[in-house]
Chain A
Amino acid sequence: MKFKTFAAFVGPSLVMMLVFIAFPLVSVFMQSFYVTQPVFEQVEIESCTPGFPNPTCVTEVKSQPVIGDDGKMISETRFSGLESYRNVLELDRVKAAIGNGSWSELMNIDFWKALRFTLTFTLLTLPLVLVVGLGIALAVNNAVKSLRGPVIFISLLPFIITPVIGGLSIRWLFIGDGILTAAMEWWTGTNISMFAQAWTIEAMMMFYRVWHVAPFAFVIFYAGLQTVNQDTLESAIIDGANRWERLRFVIVPHLMPLIVFIALIHLMDCYRVFEEIVAFSSQSHVISLQWLTYDFLTPDDAGNRAISRASATAMLTMVGIVILLIYPLKRTWRDHKGSH
């Protein structure tokens, strides 16, 4: 294919991606170094209280926002360097917390709290998703043919459901004296409140995430299981391998590329965990990196959006993604080189 035709085919898509993905990235990068604030001016105000014989007058200097001709506050944008990053990272408090050796103090700082949750969430759900997905795939592969269709249908439901609503449906099972909380209280005989402390909320979020993503892993593993080489399996049996050894030494190596694929997709998606925070309304206990940016972007009570701090968190989130992707990208590049 000539370059010109290639460009004609790929052009529209590339333009969309450049305008709506690459350009915003650059603009976020720039924004993170600037701060937009209302302009304040110093005004001398003389206020008098009636008195006898003369009113007592006090002159004080007040700062108040400048109102423009259109009746709105005038704001100015100035270069602030790394200030937004400093505001987000709060390194002084981090130093103090580390100096005290106090973990809980460190976890009071929003950014580090969000980073801690995002990372633990990602790393804990990854093995669970892989194991549960593989388990379901093996069980379905083992089941009668006529059952497979319905099972796949039911399994697809958690995957396809709107994430916020999936989270809510789990939350409604537990909220207040929801049936599952009531069941656990009956079982243990103690009073349980699932939304009062961070770790139970985190556990529910992880449960939701595994419930939501395991079907995806299952479908892919199930497709992979159909292509396992039967001859290799048979020779393994002849060599005296038991079921576990066959799984360990024949099936899992065969599925390895799929495991890497699912792990990669899962890392990408989990790193931007966000909908769970909304669905479980957990912002007072648990927050994630993407939620932090979202929170800065939503207007506060005065209607201002903290764009520059949002940009700074967004850039810091990006750093994490880059670190995450270095290894798989290197691998893909090696494969590409190898295939030519």
Chain B
Amino acid sequence: MSTPKALRQSAALRYGSAGFLIFWCLIAAFPIFWILVMSFKSPVDAFASNPLDVVFGPVTLAEGDGLSIMDVILGLGVLWLSFRFAFRHLPEMVAKFTKPGSVILGWVIAVLGFALAFIVVFFSILPWLLQGVNAITGPLGDPFIGLTVQHYVSVWVENEFYRNFINSLVVTGGVVTVSLTVGTLAGYGLARSGSNLAFWLLILALIFRALPHSVLVAGYLPVFINSAEFLRPIFGDAAPTLYGKPYAVIAVLVAINQPFTIWMLRSFFQNIPMELDEAARVDGCSHFQAFRRVIMPVMWPGVITTGLFSFLLGYNDFLVTSLLLDAQNQTMVPAIAGYFNRETTTTDQVEAIAAAVSITAPLFLLVMVFQRQIVSGLTAGAVKG
């Protein structure tokens, strides 16, 4: 079908719009791409004022860390093949080898197995292979671009960043599970009740959503620090001090996240026709049985989408975790503040960059896998009003 003449656009408009789009994509991706590049260079290169120096890293190269053309070609090739495999063949294999009931388990095993295979191939077989290849290919095998992983090693091994990573996992995992469990129930209740009470609850949630988090933390802090005294009448001498405990932070983040979660889940539940509940009720289900056996199986897309946004909230939070967790239980994002506040040497700075890239990498994967869900989640709340 050809466009009607009246709708056809002038060349200036078409190029203008394409140019704007390219410009935007550059701006959107550049800072993230740039910290990725910087994190692999020695400090002198990373903060060089000439961009070419940052990309090719002459100082890093002079220190003996570099990649040859063959390294780059083969490395990119393996990356491309593994991405292709992950997005084309892995889903098919999961569908083939798992029974319908255990799809989630199948995916967990598949992802873990894939990650393990990737690590083995990329970090031990490939370097071994490349040593041989570089020796044979002559000029193609000489290093030409500086690249070092020492900052990642010092962040993850020497500074024990993996502890923060585990803490982040605990907090975000807890936040996602609890807020989805509590949120689906409430979202369903609110979607199926047209009463004034439901309306007022939603408005209350909207007001709660607008509260600055520091206001709430100002309320928790004194209580959490002294909680052993408050809770002694109930728990006796085993009364815990809530300050610094991950589960206390999980509870706080779940509560902060609740307004958003129930709004979003409610709009997903409203898309599921009422007739489905009614049919189940006619067949003799109670409200709760109808919810569990009939509604939830068709709700998974909505739940996954809302779970993604809960994940983002828990993972990205700085304010609550930095104020309510002690150094021992610190998550990744507040921990990075420690790096750039030291500002003693430029090496610290580059280590901070490596830590920042490490935090961003899981998010990048998340967008790759769940792009569609994120987009549908963003629009779900808005288009409904």
Contact = CB atoms under 8 A, between A and B. Distances in A.
Best-buried of B35, B197, B219, B287 by chain A (most CB within 10 Å) = B219
B323 A294 contact: yes
A258 B374 CA distance: 18
A21 to B, nearest CB: 5
Given A9-B188, A28-B219, A325-B210, A17 B51 contact: no
B383 A223 contact: yes
B282 to A, nearest CB: 15
A10 B189 contact: yes
Given A224-B382, A297-B221, 17 more contacts: A6-B193, A6-B197, A10-B198, A17-B205, A27-B223, A138-B17, A151-B21, A153-B371, A157-B28, A169-B35, A179-B48, A219-B378, A220-B383, A272-B213, A278-B318, A290-B214, A335-B385
Interface in A154-175: 154-158, 160-166, 168-170, 172-173, 175
Given A1-B189, A297-B218, A161 B212 contact: no
Nearest to B52: A179
Contacts of A156: 367, 371, 374-375
B337 interface: yes
29 contacts: A13-B182, A20-B254, A25-B211, A28-B218, A138-B17, A143-B18, A149-B371, A153-B368, A156-B367, A161-B363, A162-B315, A162-B316, A162-B318, A168-B336, A173-B31, A181-B49, A219-B379, A223-B379, A223-B382, A272-B213, A281-B341, A291-B214, A293-B218, A294-B319, A297-B323, A314-B214, A314-B215, A318-B215, A332-B206
A161 B172 CA distance: 15
A155 B318 contact: no
A26 to B, nearest CB: 8
Interface stretch (B144-152, B255-263, B299-307): B255-263
Contacts of B217: 293-294, 297
B378 A220 contact: yes
Contacts of A289: 212
A139 B212 contact: no
Contact of A317 (B190, B215, B319): B215
B177 interface: no
Contacts of B259: 17
A229 B308 CA distance: 32
Nearest to B30: A173
Looking at chain B, what size class is its interface with the partner chain? 35 or more
Interface stretch (B5-13, B75-83, B131-139): B5-13
Interface of B: 6-7, 9, 13-14, 17-18, 20-21, 24-25, 27-29, 31-32, 34-35, 38, 47-51, 54, 182-183, 185-186, 188-190, 192-193, 195, 197-199, 201, 203-223, 251-252, 254-256, 258-259, 262, 287-288, 291, 312, 315-316, 318-319, 323, 333, 336-337, 340-341, 349, 352-353, 356, 359-360, 363-364, 366-368, 371, 374-375, 378-379, 381-383, 385
Contacts of B32: 157-158, 161, 169
B221 A258 contact: no
A24 B216 contact: yes
Interface of A: 1, 5-6, 8-10, 12-14, 16-17, 19-28, 31, 132, 135-136, 138-140, 142-143, 147, 149, 151-158, 160-166, 168-170, 172-173, 175-179, 181-182, 211, 215-216, 219-220, 223-224, 227, 237, 243, 257-258, 261-262, 268, 271-272, 274-275, 278, 281, 289-291, 293-294, 296-298, 305, 307, 310-311, 314-315, 317-318, 321, 324-325, 329, 332-333, 335-336
A145 B379 CA distance: 19
Contacts of B337: 164, 278
Contacts of A169: 31-32, 34-35, 356
Contacts of B48: 179
A155 to B, nearest CB: 6
Contacts of B24: 132, 135-136, 139, 155
A12 B212 contact: no
Contacts of A336: 199
B215 A177 contact: no
Contacts of B378: 216, 219-220, 223
Contacts of A151: 21, 25
Given A14-B186, A28-B219, A20 B367 contact: no
A9 to B, nearest CB: 3
A321 B252 CA distance: 21
A6 B195 contact: yes
A275 B21 CA distance: 28
Contacts of A293: 212, 214-215, 217-218
